[in-house]
Each structure stands twice: as C-alpha cells, then as structure tokens.
C-alpha cells in the first residue's frame, strides 16, 4: 500500500474509497492480513484521478459511466479513454460491453443508427451472448448522433448517419500523425509514466484546440457571401421629364383628337 501511495500520489484512505465504489479491482490476498497490489491498480487509480480532475466527474458518475448508464451530465470526449481503461482493469480482460438494447431505451433509433455507423466504419458492434453490444466509446458515438437527431439533424432535413463518413478519413489522418510525432519525440527519451502524463494532458488540450479551430472556420464560412454570387444591380432613378416636354406632349394629343 505504501508503494501504491507513492506511485499514484493518492493516500490509502482515498484508495479504499475507490475500492468501496468498485472503481478499481480488489487486491489479491495471499493471507488474511496481506493485500497485494499490482500495476493494474496504479493504472486504475490514475484513470479515476484523471476523470475527477480533467472531466470533473464524481465517483458516482464514473461508476455509472463504467456501467453504461445514461446520466444527465455530458462527459468530455477525452474522458472515454480513461473509462475504457478503468473497465478493462476492473474485469481484467476487456472493456465491459454496453447492450444496444439499453441505448434504445433512451434513443429509439439507436440500434439502426449503430448498424449504419458500423457499416461505414465509425464503430464496431460486438456480438455477445446477451446480444449486440458496444464499447463505452462506441456507445457514446451512437448517443452523440442520437442527440443530434433530437436537435433537428434528421432525415427530414436531409441529415443521415452516413454523412459521418466525411469525418473518418481526416480524423484517422490526424490521429495517425499525432501518434507518429509523439513517438518520434519521446520514445527512448522519457519514462512511460511521464509519457502517459503528457498524453493525458495533451489529448484533452488538443481536443479543445481542434474543436475550436473547426468552430471558428465553420462559423466564418456560414456567414461568408456564397462564392460567385452576383452583386445586386443598383436601381436607376426614374427619368425626369423636362418642363419643355410637357407642352409638346399636350399639343400632340390635341392634334390626334382633331384628326379623329
């Protein structure tokens, strides 16, 4: 326990709270008065701390998110990396899948949307003994589109989930380049713990940076005059008749009457 406190910077009372909430795995107990902790516990405690500090999540909210429960609070996108890690450490093998049927309770079209998102390569559907399921991150991707539907991005207005294919290639390109640049600069130069701490901060900050750059550009394009739009023609003032023209016009009318 002393080593765990030193490695994580978290005191033993807090670690025991995490255990009571089921957020980190129970230690192995070779004897009644001995508890053995491992690297898995270090990673789990760091993940919980990351969610608390970076996403301002309470322990209850973390537990609900780990269980795939729909809460009223939105979770920052970068938090899902920590959630996946937490679930993985808790069950020891893989992340706990979330049943598609449970998402459909809150979002009626979640299952059909998930099938389409899987078809275009945005998410992966896991076939389990209990039914079609998603990882925590993929479940959030589906609910994001469901929330967009509620805002009006639906078929009636010409928006369908397959529009998201537009985002896949640029997102993968940016992520691949980010990984390459990061590894080129840190591999063999710093410890794994230091690299993990850098990523924890960098992922969140770059997520915000990327999002704000997109918003800034998108709003600029929405308010910009469409390319090639013709400028409105200036209206010409009505022609003014000269005073001399009026008598001549009157004489012409009189001549026309006489001729009749």
Integer CA distances (angstroms), 27 to 38, 63, 105, 131, in order: 8, 19, 36, 31
State both tokens at 244: 């001399």
Sheet holding 98-99, edge to edge: 98-99, 131-134, 126-128
Please compute the mean of the pLDDT values over residues 101-115 and round it to a whole number.
88
Would you kindly state where each structural domain of the chain is located, as residue ranges? Answer: 1-95
Please say if the pLDDT value at position 88 is more than 70. no
Please compute the mean of the pLDDT values over residues 76-104 and round it to a whole number.
65
Q: Say what the pLDDT of residue 229 is.
A: 53
The C-alpha atoms of residue 56 and residue 223 are separated, in whole angstroms, by 35
pLDDT grade for 94, boundaries at 50, 70 and 90: very low
Average per-residue pLDDT in the chain?
77
The C-alpha atoms of residue 102 and residue 104 are separated, in whole angstroms, by 5
**Tally of CA atoms within 13 A in the half-sphere of 16 that contains its CB:** 6
Asked if 77 and 138 touch (Cβ cutoff 8 Å), the reply is no
Q: 163-197 as b/e, with b when 16 or more CB fall inside 10 Å?
A: ebeeeeeeeeeeeeeeeeeeeeeeeeeeeeeebee
Q: Say what the pLDDT of residue 157 is.
A: 92
Strand partners, 126: 133
Q: Which fold has domain 1-95?
A: Multidrug-efflux Transporter Regulator; Chain: A; Domain 2 (1.10.1660)
- Look at 231 and 206; give whichever has higher pLDDT: 206
The C-alpha atoms of residue 83 and residue 137 are separated, in whole angstroms, by 8
Handedness of CA 122, 136, 79, 212 (dihedral sign): positive
Give the model confidence (pLDDT) of 136-195 as tens digits.
Answer: 778 888 888 888 888 999 889 999 888 888 888 888 898 899 889 888 888 888 887 778
Helix axes 136-151, 110-119, angle to 10 degrees: 120
């Amino acid at each position: 326990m002393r080593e765990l406190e030193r490695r994580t910077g978290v005191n033993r009372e807090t670690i025991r709270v995490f255990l009571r909430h089921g957020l980190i795995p129970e230690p192995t107990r070779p004897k009644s008065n001995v508890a053995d902790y491992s690297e898995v516990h270090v990673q789990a405690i760091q993940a919980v701390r990351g969610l608390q500090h970076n996403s301002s999540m309470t322990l209850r909210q973390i537990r609900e998110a780990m269980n795939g429960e729909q809460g009223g609070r939105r979770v920052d996108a970068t938090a899902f990396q920590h959630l996946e890690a937490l679930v993985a450490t808790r069950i020891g093998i893989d992340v706990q899948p979330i049943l598609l049927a449970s998402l459909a309770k809150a979002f009626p079209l979640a299952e059909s949307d998930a099938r389409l998102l899987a078809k275009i390569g945005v998410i992966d559907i896991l076939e389990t003994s209990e039914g079609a399921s998603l990882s925590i991150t993929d479940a959030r991707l589906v609910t994001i589109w469901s929330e967009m539907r509620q805002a009006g991005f639906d078929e009636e207005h010409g928006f369908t989930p397959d529009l998201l294919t537009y985002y896949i290639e640029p997102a993968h390109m940016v992520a691949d380049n980010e990984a390459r640049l990061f590894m080129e600069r840190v591999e063999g130069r710093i410890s794994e713990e230091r690299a993990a701490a850098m990523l924890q901060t960098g992922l969140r900050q770059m997520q915000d940076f990327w999002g704000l750059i997109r918003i800034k550009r998108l709003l600029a394009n929405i308010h910009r005059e469409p390319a090639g739009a013709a400028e409105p023609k200036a209206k010409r003032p009505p022609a003014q008749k000269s005073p001399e023209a009026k008598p001549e016009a009157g004489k012409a009318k009189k001549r026309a009457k006489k001729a009749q």
